[in-house]
Structures are given as structure tokens and as C-alpha cells.
Amino acid sequence: MGQDVTISPYSPGGSRDRIIREALGTDYASLTTSQQSDATDIINERFDLVFELGKRIADISESSNLPSEFQHLFIEESVYRIIVQFRGESEAATRRSVADAAWNSTISSYSGSYDVDTILAIDNTTFKSIDKYVTSISARLPDRILIPSREIDQTVWQCFSQIWNMRSWNFRKRLTTFQINSDGSLTNNENYVFDQFAGRFLTYRDSTSYLLRWVNRETMLLLQSENWDSETGSQGTDRPLWFTIQDEGGSAGKKIILIPMPDKDYTVFGNILLATPTLPVSASPRTDSSSFDFLPREFHPALWNLSLGKLLTKYDKRVGARYLLMANDTLNSFGTDYDDSGFPTSEIKPVDVYQDNQYMESHYLGNTNIIGEL
């Protein structure tokens, strides 16, 4: 064997001669031009794969050298693939087992078993930490899957939003202050991302004699008729006493409907449910935990496993289903401690005019599962 050469990120050829000698028992210079081209392609491909794995689980940067474990893995992978290319799979059986051992040993060295509960004791939830979790498991599958980081990030955020909106979780609630503007609009004075009110009434700052009460839409229709001023051709104005919420979708979002229309600006106090937090917007969004920190720590393993399960079902449904079940069991166990299906669920939900109960059952977790059809 030739002496190993330190492999810099973009110079996989540093160990080329050693790889060729171990694989074929000859020097690179002795190969034909076609053989040299095939061997170089294999070496470069294996290097890119190993370097990507290193970035995911060992924080290798593009300005650093590969650690010794990854150099060993790169060489063993390349030797095996070159033997397969030049001599066939049967001749490469022994090196296959060596390459597999190097692959699993390298992953274990940097991620261990990477049990999610153990990780969360020392690591925050970020796109990067979940990427490492997903990679440490997917890369051990028989097909050695390295899921693109972009796909992982997209799935993680979809799962975060899914968990957030499953129920009217207690941790989504905030006591906050609003300004009711004279034009009937609502301004959140505390910069919370508003989803909906979590109570049946709002209180006025300037008076304890009045409440701004929620009514359903049918009652609002009656109140609008009663409050209509035929002389002005518009709703009468005064201190608002009743409200309902109308979701107009898109950029318009949710709009408050008031009766009477306000005759001036008012400040009110209310209990709200927060909308899904925004994506991290810091200079390093993949290592920013701020958005994920809105979830209680107990929910984080479910987020990690739900993300992993959904990603793996595209490649191995059996393995993916196992992690989806783990996430589902965890989330269902939180029902009594964190769920408050009171006012928003029982009062603000759409009236089941056509007895289409599946609409609401699919929106809330309840006793259903989050796995879907596999």
C-alpha cells in the first residue's frame, strides 16, 4: 500500500494512486486512457458523496481537510466501486463488506446512535440539527440515502406547521392588547402573529362596564340588520359590543367584523391563539432555533420523528412508518396536558351544514393519526 495523502476538499486525486493499486494491483499510469477516465469519475463521485456526508454529520467545511475517518471511508468506497467497475460484483464481495463497515463506523463515530431524546439534551432544534438526525439514519439504510438538505428543510417546516395547527394548544395562547381603529380594523399592539381569538369576549381598557362579545355569523347577520342606519346608508357607530371573525384568505388574512362600527379608536384586551411562527430570518437560518423554540421542549422529539418519517416514506415505507408512529403516539399523549379544544374549536369552527364531519376531524388530531396512507 502506498502512503496516504491528506485529502483536501477539492483534491480527491491525492489518494488516487493508492486507490488504483489496492483495487487493481497496478499503477494509474498503466491504465488505458478510457480506464483512467472511468477510474477518475468513480473517485470524484465517491469523494463528493463522502464530503457531503461529512458536511452533514461532522460540520466539515469547504476550507478544511477530511478527518481521518472520512479519508478511510473515501478510500474504501472508491476501491470497492473500482473493483466492481473493472472486475465485476463477484470479485468485489470482500471489499464490499470492508466498505460497509467503514461507512457505518464513520457515521457512528460522529453521530452515535443519535437517539432523539439524547440529542435534545445537548442540542437545540434547528434545520441543521434535524438534517444531521435524518442523515445519520437514512445513510445507514441499505441504499445509503442522502436526502438533499433543501428537501429536509422543506419537510421540517411543513411538519412544524402541521403540529402547530393540529389543536388549540395551550402554549399558543397569549394575553395581548389590541387597538380597534375607527375604520373597524384591528391593530395588534404587541406584535404577536394573530391567528384567532381564544375567548368569548374582549375587555375595554377605559371601562369595565362594557364587554366586546363574540357572536356566531348567523347572530351577526341579525345584529347588522338591527344596527343599519337607513338615513346614512351604513352601519351605526358607537362603542362596539359584538364581534365575529371572517377569514378572507391570502394576504387579507383574518378580519374582525364589529357591531356597532366604532365611533373612535378603542383599546381592548384579549386572549388569542398565535399563528404559525415565521421561518427563521437570521443571518444563519439553518442554525437559528428561535422559531422552533415556540414549541415546548416535549414536542421536539415528535417534530424530529415526524420529519424523518415523512422523508423516509419516499424511500423505505416500512422504516418511515415506524418513525411516523412514534411521532403520532407522542403527540396523542399530549392531549390532556396541552390541548384546549374549548372556545375556538367548539364555537369558531364552521357549522357542519352538510354533515361533513370529516372536514373538521381531519384538521384536529383527536383520535385520528397523522400518518396518512402508506
Q: Domains of the chain: which residue ranges?
A: 1-112, 170-274
Which regions in the chain score pLDDT beneath 50? 1-11, 345-374
What's the pLDDT at 343? Answer: 57
As a whole number of angstroms, the distance between CA 101 and CA 336 comes to: 46
What is the longest distance spanned by two Cα atoms in the chain? 101
Q: What is the pLDDT of residue 109?
A: 84
Q: Rounded to 5, what percent of the chain is helix, strand, coil?
A: 50, 15, 35
Angstrom distance (rounded) from CA 132 to CA 111:
8
**Which has the closest alpha carbon to 307: 127, 39, 175, 52?**
127
Letter for the amino acid at 76?
Answer: E
Answer yes or no: are the C-beta atoms of 180 and 205 closer than 8 Å.
no
Q: What is the pLDDT of residue 143?
A: 83
Q: Are β-strands 242-247 and 211-214 bridged in parallel, bridged antiparallel, or unpaired?
A: parallel
- For 244, the 3-state DSSP assignment is strand
DSSP string, 93-152: HHHHHHHHHHHHHHHHHHHTT--HHHHHTT----HHHHHHHHHHHHTTSTT-----HHHH
Residue 122 burial (CB < 10 Å; 0-12/13-18/19+)?
Answer: exposed
**Is the preceding peptide bond at 262 cis, omega within 30 degrees of 0?**
no
Give the per-residue pLDDT at 366: 41
- Cβ(167)–Cβ(364) under 8 Å? yes
User: Distances from the Cα of 221 to the Cαs of 10, 43, 225, in angstroms?
Assistant: 69, 72, 6
pTM more than 0.75: yes
The pLDDT score that the predictor gives to residue 340 is 66
- Cell numbers that stand for 32 in this block: 488505458
Q: Give the pLDDT of residue 232.
A: 85
175's enclosing H/E stretch is strand 173-180
